[in-house]
Amino acid sequence: MIDEIAYVFENASIGTRVFQAEAEDPDDKNTANGKIIYSLPHDGSIINQLFQIHPESGLLTTIDKLDREERGYYTLILEAKDLGTPSQHTSRTLLVVVKDIDDHKPRFQRQNNYFPNEIEIQEHTNIGTEIMVVKAQDLDEAENAIVDYSIAEGNEGNFFEIFRTDENEGIIFISKEIDREISANFTLIVQCFHPHRNKTEDSENYDRLRVKIIISDIDDNNPKFLKMNLSYGVRVNSAIYTEVAKVKAIDIDVTADPISYQIINITYSRPKTGLFDIIDNELFIIDERTGVIHTNRTLGRFIDGQFVVYVRAINGINRFDIEKLILYVLQDTELLQFVFDQDPASVRQLLPRLKKDIENVFINPLVFNIYDTEFYNKRDGSLDFGRTGSCFQVLNNGKGVDLSSYESLIKNNNELENIYKKYNIIMIEHCAKIDSSKENMNWIEITFMLMGVLIGFLSILSTFLIFCIYTWHRHHMYRNSPVKIIEATVRTFVHSNLPPGSTINGGGIPSVTESD
């Protein structure tokens, strides 16, 4: 049974007054029988380590600091006795309640090296959706134990907010629409603190909790071509199934179906004549997986024209993008040629990097379309098996650049010269072997030409003479051949209505004299 209750604040300084014990004895206070002594039982309990009572005054004080979070109350037995013989004594039970002070910070219950709390949500989840509950603990009580929360780091886009409940829990919810293609995951740092105190840093960071939010994908985007309105050239003498272009589309949704490519329309025009026509889509074919476009027929009849090819990238119902390509039909005389001091097999592997490096040099949007690689064909018609010729086309704003214009672009361009050295390019020339010196024929060519003309003329003349001789001979032969005149009887038919005995002048049977 508790007789008295006393209160003391935790962490009170040593010697803090706790309780004043008072006892009365009717005997004379000046004698041993009336003199009162106060004490605590010496039973080896924690009481003797925390409290003491003055034997004469009965004042109970602390001898060590108390921690309410360790123990909230103590039960003490206060004894009072006189010094008489026999000694008379009495006792009272005292409950010492340790009152709380706000001496603890709220903390998350976690290990020092811990994995962050992790949760996965879908992109475009409704705003206001609660996604996680966190809870910290404050060892204080009542108002001192109230815990509040905030997102200290990782919420730069303000996609999340947190609020506290009456149960001291923190609820993280979505405050802004989330697109996985913009942010695939978030790592938030949630901090707990007492709302009535300034935020302070915990040296061990137990007031902080890492929360990782993974955004799962839904297929909400169409495929997109990486480049639009591309221009390429195709050689008029290209063989069937020559690669002429390559398109590339991507779908930023990680769960999207694979993309396939289709040619949906081809038109042809020849600006010089104003010709325009819709062409069979099978003139070119496209690999539905890689987007590589090849010729499927010869292009001789399309010289000096251009194709507009529309390609569709699709990976679902109503999920597609359309790319427009312009393919110029080019003669070799319209192309330039890199001459490499390497074999074609080695050069073929370098072309993608060469194209990229050259395009990066120019400020203007130049486009390099590099075509087939083959052994270098020298001007005398022989092949150089140690070198490679690769024809290419330069487009500036969609228009072709000739050799003289290209030379002006690269003039005094040290960076480009270094690229040529890097890729062993030893010269640039026309793709077709145009040699102006051959316009002035030498005497050997003239001699052979004249001999050809003379031989042709003599052949015609001899044929004419033979024909004339043959005709004269036949005519002479017929003139000298003998002629025989044969007398023949000619029967004359007389009209039936002549009277009997009538004669016709000049009638009768004529005679023909045969002569030699």
- Write down all domains in the chain, each with its CATH number in brackets: 4-99 (2.60.40.60), 107-216 (2.60.40.60), 224-330 (2.60.40.60), 335-430 (3.30.70)
pLDDT of 398 reads: 61
DSSP annotation of 240 reads T
For the chain, report the end-to-end CA distance as a whole number of angstroms.
189
Reading the block at residue 304, the tokens are 């000096």
**Token pair in block for residue 155:** 């919420």
Distance CA 143, CA 507 (A): 168
pLDDT of residue 384 exceeding 80: yes
More confident residue, 122 or 231: 122
Residue 280 is classified by DSSP as P
Q: Which helix (H) or strand (E) holds 467?
A: helix 443-479
**3-class SS string, 55-68:** CCCCEEEECCCCCC
User: Of how many residues is the chain composed?
Assistant: 516
Name which of 62-66, 263-267, 356-360, 494-498 the model is least confident about: 494-498
476-488 tens-digit pLDDT: 776 665 555 555 5
> Exposed, middle or buried by CB within 10 Å (0-12, 13-18, 19+), for 139?
middle
Q: What is the distance between the alpha carbons of residues 199 and 107, in angstroms, rounded to a whole number?
A: 13
DSSP SS3 for 352: helix
Sign of CA dihedral 21, 26, 31, 32: negative
d(CA 399, CA 102): 78
Which 3-state string (H, E, C) describes 403-422?
HHHHHHHHCCCHHHHHHHHH
Least confident of 283-292, 405-414, 448-457: 405-414
Map 117-147 to HEC letters: EEEEEECCCCCCCEEEEEEEECCCCHHHHCC
Residue 134 banded pLDDT, cuts 50, 70, 90 = very high
Between 491 and 457, where is the model more confident?
Answer: 457
pLDDT at 16 over 80: yes
**Cβ neighbours of residue 395 closer than 8 Å, sequence gap 6 or more:** 231, 233, 366, 367, 368, 369, 401
More confident residue, 201 or 52: 52
Those residues whose C-beta lies under 8 Å from the C-beta of residue 461, and which sit 6 or more positions away, are none
46: CB partners within 8 A, 6+ apart: 74
Average pLDDT over residues 435-464: 73
CB of 221 closer than 8 Å to CB of 284: no
Written as six digits, the tokens of 210 are 């890492």
Question: Binning pLDDT at 50, 70 and 90, where does residue 378 land?
Answer: confident
More confident residue, 26 or 225: 225
Q: Give the global pTM.
A: 0.53
Radius of gyration of the chain (CA): 58
Taking 50 as the threshold, does the pLDDT of residue 305 lie above it?
A: yes
Grouping H, G, I as helix, E, B as strand and the rest as coil, residue 184 is coil
